[in-house]
């Protein structure tokens, strides 16, 4: 076993060495039948700490602590870190993936669900795999065409594609072994999360909680791709048989005809296996539509939305659940990173589950029973004052739920006080490191709302939620938008230290036994800090926002730190001007690897040529512009930015040269740019709708031009 693994490593390294970095794309390598890359089994993953030089699963070990026991790079020499190699990607969208590094080979996913295998010591290409996701599927993604990673098992890699396929690849060659469709493609499901492998089963969920879907998680046989079990997170139509007894109970927590719009509850990120208790923990997302009035009109907690659910990994049978947000109305998903740890609580070491979900509370649960041990806000929130430890329910404030005609912003908003960016737990410092977002959102019920199968179904007044153009109000809102890196003591539920950021959406975290903490930043840096104090030790100009979780590994005894760079994701796509607070970076998508004394340099970026606003005059009626605003905010803003201000990743329509031509309709209705991911909206929008959107964008472009003339700081 060990022998064959070593020969596989040696062969891979020899092949890699002969190829050279940045070489032409090679899709496969000739290998001997005995050479088997990613030769993982249960024992190797369970005993990940015995192989600190490898990063064999999404969170490094099943506990998903993202703590590396490596310490050749430490707080005394981190300032000698330098770039060892870099690898440019062919996708220029958000990069959210954590790489795997197994026996000297790095495997990772990029935007559009592509896979890359590199020699982890040199960055030279071994193979690539492109699942050929239809660009039209991009419209189904709430939050960019991202992918967060792979699972590996017995010589294979497992990939979930944006369009809902689960794919097994030969880790040695990158060739397809099997592929299975995990969704009904008549619904707007997506996969962006990393699969996990547990006892020969590949576990995968999906996203789509704003688009009329019903959430579930499924297990597939790693050898054959055959489905073994599926657990639905919300009940379906109660006139039909329930798929499991627990769903019959869950259905009692819903009212109205929730199943008609799916119900939501998608499992889009956290799926964590506990080999000690043989339990699988899943994080479940928001109810759909967000606004409970349109989802479950006579109330109810709406299980299992916004819950952590424990399942038996062999059968998918329900074991326990803890609902963080009963009757969620804020898109407070509970999908965020789950960490398993053993920590002292009141003098006794307890097996706990740690999570800092979007809602702003840090939760410590007993992971055997799901019982809440403690919960405390890890940043400023205004929707609740605390969590009742007896009932486990949040103590909501009077403003929490769509408060009247002039509701105040709720903090946090749907971006979450913490989203998918992985945290890290260091058993050495005892701290959990959290990338925190501080920004609010205005939740108001619309006068009219109609849920549609193929439309984003928020159930909110999308116009009221947009950035106001009154300069004083706008400035007051922007002043509240912040971000920070927080070191959180989960035992005493308090902040130990924090580093302030200019804005939200900074990177995932890695802590190491060298008393180091690594994080990428939204403003284009990759940095090292002392894990105990937060003192900054090193900073690298990454030329782009870095959001993904870093990893550490060794090849030939030398320690590396690697991170995938590339600005994107929901924040710069949807948040408009708010995203400029974090730094106006470009997308430059690359894998970056560092080592002590690394001497490589990134090429200088070409100068940015600032585009010029030259809109046609705004001549439409106010009613037409207002109609266009409603359509824009519901259908267009998720990619082209709130109130038509793009965060810089996708085109800013105010600058479009189709504003005064019929090409506008050719693109929006005719699908002229569908190969770039701009789908035809013909099934959902009429010609007058699209004409009104154009009138609104022209109005906004003229408004922005007038602002620019008034002062350089205006948008």
Catalytic (active-site) positions: 331
The secondary structure of 642-706 as a DSSP string is: GGG---SSS--GGG-TTTTSTHHHHHHTT-TTGGGT----TTT--HHHHHHHHHHHHHHHHHHHH
**Could you tell me whether strands 201-204 and 271-274 are parallel, antiparallel, or unpaired per DSSP bridges?**
unpaired
Find the shortest distance in angstroms from Cβ 705 to Ca ion: 35
The CB-of-208 to Ca ion minimum distance in angstroms stands at 9
Minimum distance from residue 107 beta carbon to Ca ion (Å): 28
User: What is the spatial distance between Cα 278 and Cα 198, in angstroms, rounded to a whole number?
Assistant: 10
284 vs 649 by CB, closer to Ca ion: 284
**Residue corresponding to tokens 């005394």:** 76
Q: Which stretch binds Ca ion (CB under 5 A): 327-335, 557-565, 575-583, 660-668?
A: 327-335
The continuous run of DSSP H or E covering 472 comes out as helix 471-480
Provide the H-helix boundaries in 295-389: none
Residue 285 is a binding residue for Ca ion (CB under 5 A) = yes
The CA–CA distances, whole Å, from 605 to 18, 240, 251, 540 equal 29, 58, 55, 15
286 binds Ca ion (CB under 5 A): yes
Contact 465, 444 (CB under 8 A): yes
Rg of the chain over Cα atoms, rounded to whole angstroms, equals 24
The residue ranges of DSSP E strands in 254-312, in sequence order, are 271-274, 279-283, 307-311
The residue (of 209 and 583) whose beta carbon lies closer to Ca ion is 209
Strand spans (E) along 431-576: 432-438, 482-489, 494-501, 509-512, 516-520, 525-530, 536-541, 551-555, 558-565
Calculate helix-pair angle for 687-710, 622-631, nearest 10 degrees.
100
Among the listed ranges 255-263, 330-338, 533-541, 556-564, the one in contact with Ca ion (CB under 5 A) is 330-338
* Binding residue (CB under 5 A) for Ca ion from 333, 336, 461, 532: 333
CA distance 264 to 75: 45
CB of 416 to Ca ion, least distance (A): 9
- Contact between 195 and Ca ion by CB under 5 A: the answer reads no
Q: Measured from the CB atom, is 192 or 691 closer to Ca ion? A: 192
* Of 94 and 209, CB closest to Ca ion: 209
* Listed residue (419, 510, 506, 420) closest to 60, CA to CA: 510
- Strands 67-68 and 509-512, by their bridges, are parallel
Contact characters 196-235, Ca ion, x per CB under 5 A? -------------x--------------------------
- Extended strands (E) in 2-56: none
Helices and strands, counts by H and E, the chain:
9, 35
Q: Does 269 bind Ca ion (CB under 5 A)?
A: no
Give 122 or 190: the residue with its C-beta nearer to Ca ion.
190
Structural tokens at position 586:
């470009």
Stretch that binds Ca ion, among 324-332, 457-465, 518-526, 566-574 (CB under 5 A): 324-332
285 vs 507 by CB, closer to Ca ion: 285
**Least separation, in Å, of the C-beta of 419 and Ca ion?**
9
CB of 358 to Ca ion, least distance (A): 8
Question: Looking at beta carbons only, is 334 or 633 nearer to Ca ion?
Answer: 334
> Nearest 5°: CA angle at 512, between 268 and 524?
65
Q: Is 431 in the site for Ca ion (CB under 5 A)?
A: no
Contact residues for 190 (Cβ-Cβ < 8 A; gap 6+)? 137, 140, 141, 142, 162, 163, 164, 206, 207, 208
| Least distance from Ca ion to the Cβ atom of residue 285, Å | 5
* Shortest Å, Cβ 703 to Ca ion: 31
Cα–Cα–Cα angle for 40, 423, 648, rounded to 5 degrees: 105
The 3-state DSSP class for residue 89 equals coil
State in angstroms the smallest separation of the CB of 490 from Ca ion.
25
Q: Which is nearer to Ca ion, 318 or 420 (CB)?
A: 420
Q: Of the listed pieces 102-110, 236-244, 333-341, 597-605, which binds Ca ion according to CB under 5 A?
A: 333-341
Indicate whether 331 belongs to the interface with Ca ion (CB under 5 A): yes
Number of residues that bind Ca ion (CB under 5 A): 5
User: Measured from the CB atom, is 285 or 370 closer to Ca ion?
Assistant: 285
Q: What angle do CA 282, 38, 62 make, to 5 degrees?
A: 30
Per-residue buried b or exposed e for 470-502, using 16+ beta carbons within 10 Å of the residue's own CB: eeeebeebeeebbbbbbbbbbbebebbebbebe
Query: For 646, phi and psi rounded to 5 degrees?
Result: -80, 145
Alpha-carbon span 543 to 535, nearest angstrom: 23
Tokens of 585: 């970076």
How many angstroms separate the CA atoms of 162 and 185, rounded? Answer: 11
Under rule CB under 5 A, residue 59 binds Ca ion: no
Q: Who contacts 361 (Cβ-Cβ below 8 Å, separation ≥6)?
A: 324, 375, 376, 377, 378, 381, 384, 387, 394
* 650 contact partners, CB below 8 Å, separation of at least 6: 573, 639, 640, 641
Is 551 in contact with 510 (CB distance < 8 Å)?
Answer: yes
Q: Could you list the residues that contact Ca ion (CB under 5 A)? A: 209, 285-286, 331, 333
């Amino acid at each position: 076993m060990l022998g064959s693994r070593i020969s596989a490593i040696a062969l891979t390294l020899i092949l890699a060495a002969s190829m050279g970095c940045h070489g032409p794309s090679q899709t496969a390598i000739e290998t001997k039948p005995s050479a088997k890359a990613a030769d993982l089994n249960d024992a190797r993953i369970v005993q990940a700490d015995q192989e600190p030089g490898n990063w064999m699963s999404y969170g490094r070990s099943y506990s998903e602590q993202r703590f590396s026991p490596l310490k050749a790079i430490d707080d005394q020499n981190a300032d000698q870190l330098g770039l060892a190699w870099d690898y440019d990607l062919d996708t220029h969208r958000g990069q959210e993936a954590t790489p795997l590094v197994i026996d000297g080979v790095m495997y990772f996913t990029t935007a559009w669900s592509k896979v890359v295998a590199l020699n982890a010591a040199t960055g030279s290409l071994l193979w690539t795999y492109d699942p050929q996701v239809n660009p039209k599927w991009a419209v189904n993604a709430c939050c960019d065409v991202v992918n967060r990673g792979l699972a590996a098992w017995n010589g294979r890699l497992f990939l979930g594609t944006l369009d809902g396929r689960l794919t097994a690849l030969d880790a040695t060659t990158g060739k397809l072994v099997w592929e299975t469709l995990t969704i009904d493609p008549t619904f707007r499901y997506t996969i962006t999360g990393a699969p996990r492998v547990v006892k020969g089963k590949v576990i995968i969920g999906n996203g789509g909680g704003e688009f009329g879907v019903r959430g579930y998680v499924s297990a597939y046989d790693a050898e054959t791709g055959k489905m073994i079990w599926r657990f639905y997170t919300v009940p379906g139509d109660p006139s039909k048989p329930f798929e499991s007894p627990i769903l019959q109970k869950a259905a009692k927590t819903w009212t109205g005809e929730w199943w008609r719009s799916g119900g939501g509850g998608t499992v889009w990120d956290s799926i964590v296996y506990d080999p000690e208790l043989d339990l699988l923990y899943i994080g479940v997302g928001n109810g759909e539509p967000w606004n409970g009035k349109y989802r479950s009109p006579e109330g109810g907690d709406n299980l299992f939305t916004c819950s952590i659910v424990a399942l038996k990994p062999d059968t998918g049978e329900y074991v326990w659940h803890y609902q963080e947000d009963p009757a969620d109305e804020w898109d407070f998903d509970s999908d965020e990173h789950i960490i398993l740890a053993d920590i002292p609580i009141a003098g006794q070491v307890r097996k706990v589950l740690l999570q800092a979900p979007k809602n702003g509370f840090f939760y410590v649960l007993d992971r055997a029973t799901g019982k809440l041990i403690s919960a405390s806000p890890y940043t400023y929130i205004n929707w609740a004052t605390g969590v009742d430890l007896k009932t486990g329910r949040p103590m909501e404030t009077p403003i929490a739920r769509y408060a009247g005609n002039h509701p105040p912003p709720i903090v946090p908003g749907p971006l979450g006080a913490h989203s998918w960016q992985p945290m890290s737990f260091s058993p050495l410092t005892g701290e959990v490191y959290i990338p925190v977002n501080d920004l609010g959102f205005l939740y108001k019920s619309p006068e009219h709302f109609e849920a549609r199968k193929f439309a984003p179904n928020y159930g909110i007044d999308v116009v009221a939620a947009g950035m106001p153009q009154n300069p004083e109000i706008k400035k007051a809102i922007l002043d509240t938008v912040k971000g920070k890196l927080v070191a959180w003591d989960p035992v005493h539920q308090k902040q130990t230290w924090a580093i302030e950021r200019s804005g939200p959406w900074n990177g995932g975290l890695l802590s190491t036994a060298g008393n180091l903490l690594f994080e990428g930043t939204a403003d284009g840096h990759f940095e090292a800090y002392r894990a105990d104090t937060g003192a900054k030790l090193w900073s690298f100009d990454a030329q782009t926002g870095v959001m993904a979780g870093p990893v550490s590994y060794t090849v030939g005894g030398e320690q590396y730190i690697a991170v995938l760079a590339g600005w994107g994701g929901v924040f710069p796509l949807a948040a408009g001007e708010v995203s400029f607070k974090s730094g106006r970076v470009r997308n430059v998508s690359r894998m970056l690897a560092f080592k002590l004394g690394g001497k490589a340099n990134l090429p200088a970026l070409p100068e940015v040529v600032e585009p010029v606003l030259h809109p046609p005059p705004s001549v439409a009626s106010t009613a037409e512009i207002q109609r266009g605003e409603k359509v824009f905010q519901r259908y267009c803003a998720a990619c082209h930015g709130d109130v038509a201000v793009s965060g810089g990743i996708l085109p800013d329509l105010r600058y479009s040269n189709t504003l005064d031509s019929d090409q506008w309709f050719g693109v929006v209705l005719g699908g002229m740019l569908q190969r770039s991911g701009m789908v035809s909206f013909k099934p959902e929008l009429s010609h007058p709708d699209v004409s009104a959107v154009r009138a609104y964008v022209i109005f906004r472009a003229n408004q922005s031009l007038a602002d620019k003339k008034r002062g350089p700081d205006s948008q």
